[in-house]
Chains A and B, each alone.
Chain A
Amino acid sequence: MPGEIGIMVTSPGGLMGTIADGLLQGCKQGDLSAYEDLYSSHAGRMKSIAFHLLGNRSEAEDAVQETFLRIYRAVPNFDGPSGFDAWMYRILINCCYDAARKRRRQAEMELTADPAVPTSVPLRIALEKALARIHSAHRMVFWLFEVEGFRHSEIAGILEIPEGTSRKWLFEAKRDLKRLLTEVRS
């Protein structure tokens, strides 16, 4: 789902999964098979998140490609192994943020988007439309938790926010979505 990204994420240091030492060393040494392992494990999720943020598959793939390039360049400075996954997803989100900023038409899409949630469409489509109308940070947490299946501790690592904030934003996202969905359906 296209949408502005309200969170600028910056540096490593999260709580997420610990990368195997060998894999991290492989990445640091520029071993492409190590990157292939990373790609196999994470590309699906990365593409989905990028698609959510950029709104089309082609740009999502470009963002994933750019993410691997930035990881390749930055990993020698990464003081792992803990927090590697969170760091990687932060880079992905930053890549999407950069791509979205370059795209002027993105702002136009935001402005011209039809705010009405149609009553006759299935809940899935209504939810997608309602998601576009809630606070971008809340939407990001909702997406990572409910769609991508990250835990609050992992989201906290990716977005560099306290775990309690992640829980609160999820609640606020769901509360706003419920209100939007109920308004239209009642």
Chain B
Amino acid sequence: MKFECKDLERCLEVPELMADASEHARDCAACRRELWIWSEMSNVASSLREQWDTPELWPKIQAQLAAQPKRKPVRRLDWRLLGAVAALLLVAAAGALSWYQTRSHPRSAPSSDFLTEQTLREVEQAEQSYARSIDKLSKLAQPKIENAGTPLIAAYREKLVLLDSAIADMKSSVGQNRFNTHLQLELAALYKQKQETLQEIVRREQKN
């Protein structure tokens, strides 16, 4: 390839091509000048480093650190454990309710229609409770999401928008067919994804 002046910028972007540029610059004053400025910027930049003595700075930092309260081991919220406890409580509550109803109506065998309606109500109550918990988690993660300063957090925000949209669609479908177990499971899976995403954001916030 014959090197031309217009190739210079590409060479500056790819350091491996710099040898070609230097070769060309031997006979080209304009490119020689460009290359000189390019390398001189690096040479001069190192002189921009600001250095000064601060004999009093470390004693100040030391005193400030010494004045900090003694550390206690930090216990992080274990979201999995909290989730398991919540699920356990939900199951226990459902069991207690079922036991109470059996005790209240021991002789009358409930119709299959009633059982289906009852089960559905329990599912919907559990879903509402789950959604409320996720809303609380959303509030915790909200400041972090709003100040999305990193591509990662921006990506999480995008994901949450998509999930919210999918949840809204799925709720609409469930509304049209409340007894469809498959749709209910799909909705639960979407909630779970949202919960995990929010937990990841909150965990990252705690780490920082």
Query: Contact between A12 and B208 (Cβ–Cβ < 8 Å)?
Result: yes
Query: Contact between A146 and B65 (Cβ–Cβ < 8 Å)?
Result: no
Find chain A residues with CB under 8 A from B42 CB.
146
Given the contacts A7-B149, A48-B50, A178-B38, A68 and B61 also touching, CB distance less than 8 Å = yes
Find chain A residues with CB under 8 A from B12 CB.
171, 174-175
Binds A, one of B20-28, B52-60, B160-168, B174-182: B52-60
Binds A, one of B69-77, B91-99, B111-119: B69-77
Alpha-carbon distance between A149 and B42 when the two chains are bound, in angstroms: 10
Query: Contact between A8 and B207 (Cβ–Cβ < 8 Å)?
Result: no
Alpha-carbon distance between A182 and B40 when the two chains are bound, in angstroms: 12
Min CB gap A44→B, angstroms: 6
Given the contacts A43-B57, A61-B57, A147-B49, A178 and B206 also touching, CB distance less than 8 Å = no
Find chain B residues with CB under 8 A from A69 CB.
61, 64-65, 68
Query: Contact between B208 and A51 (Cβ–Cβ < 8 Å)?
Result: no
Query: Contact between A32 and B44 (Cβ–Cβ < 8 Å)?
Result: no
Find chain B residues with CB under 8 A from A61 CB.
54, 57
Find chain A residues with CB under 8 A from B54 CB.
43, 47, 61
Query: Contact between B61 and A10 (Cβ–Cβ < 8 Å)?
Result: no
Binds B, one of A18-26, A102-110, A112-120, A121-129: A121-129
- Name the interface residues of A143-164: CB closer than 8 Å to any CB of B: 143, 146-149, 160-161
Count CB-based A-B contacts (< 8 Å). Answer: 121
Min CB gap B150→A, angstroms: 5
Query: Contact between A10 and B45 (Cβ–Cβ < 8 Å)?
Result: no
Query: Contact between A146 and B46 (Cβ–Cβ < 8 Å)?
Result: yes
Contact of B44 among A44, A124, A175 (CB under 8 A): A124
Query: Contact between B147 and A127 (Cβ–Cβ < 8 Å)?
Result: no
Query: Contact between B64 and A65 (Cβ–Cβ < 8 Å)?
Result: yes
Query: Is chain B's interface secondary structure helix, strand, loop, or mixed overall?
Result: helix
Query: Contact between A36 and B37 (Cβ–Cβ < 8 Å)?
Result: no
Contact of B65 among A35, A48, A161, A181 (CB under 8 A): A35
Is B51 in the interface zone, CB < 8 Å from A?
yes
Query: Contact between A76 and B74 (Cβ–Cβ < 8 Å)?
Result: yes
Find chain A residues with CB under 8 A from B82 CB.
none
Residue numbers of A with Cβ under 8 A of B are 1, 7-12, 29-30, 32, 35-36, 39, 43-44, 47-48, 51-52, 57, 60-61, 64-65, 68-69, 72-74, 76-79, 123-124, 127-128, 142-143, 146-149, 160-161, 171, 174-175, 177-178, 181-182
A-B contact pairs, 28 of them (CB 8 A): A1-B48, A7-B149, A8-B150, A32-B62, A35-B65, A43-B57, A47-B52, A48-B50, A52-B48, A57-B52, A61-B57, A64-B57, A68-B61, A68-B65, A69-B64, A76-B71, A77-B206, A77-B207, A79-B207, A127-B45, A127-B48, A143-B48, A147-B45, A147-B49, A149-B46, A178-B34, A178-B37, A181-B37
Closest 10 CB pairs of A and B: A8-B149, A146-B45, A11-B208, A51-B50, A48-B50, A68-B61, A171-B13, A147-B48, A76-B74, A48-B49
A sample of 5 more A-B contacts (CB under 8 A), given A69-B61, A178-B37, is A30-B65, A52-B50, A68-B64, A72-B68, A147-B49
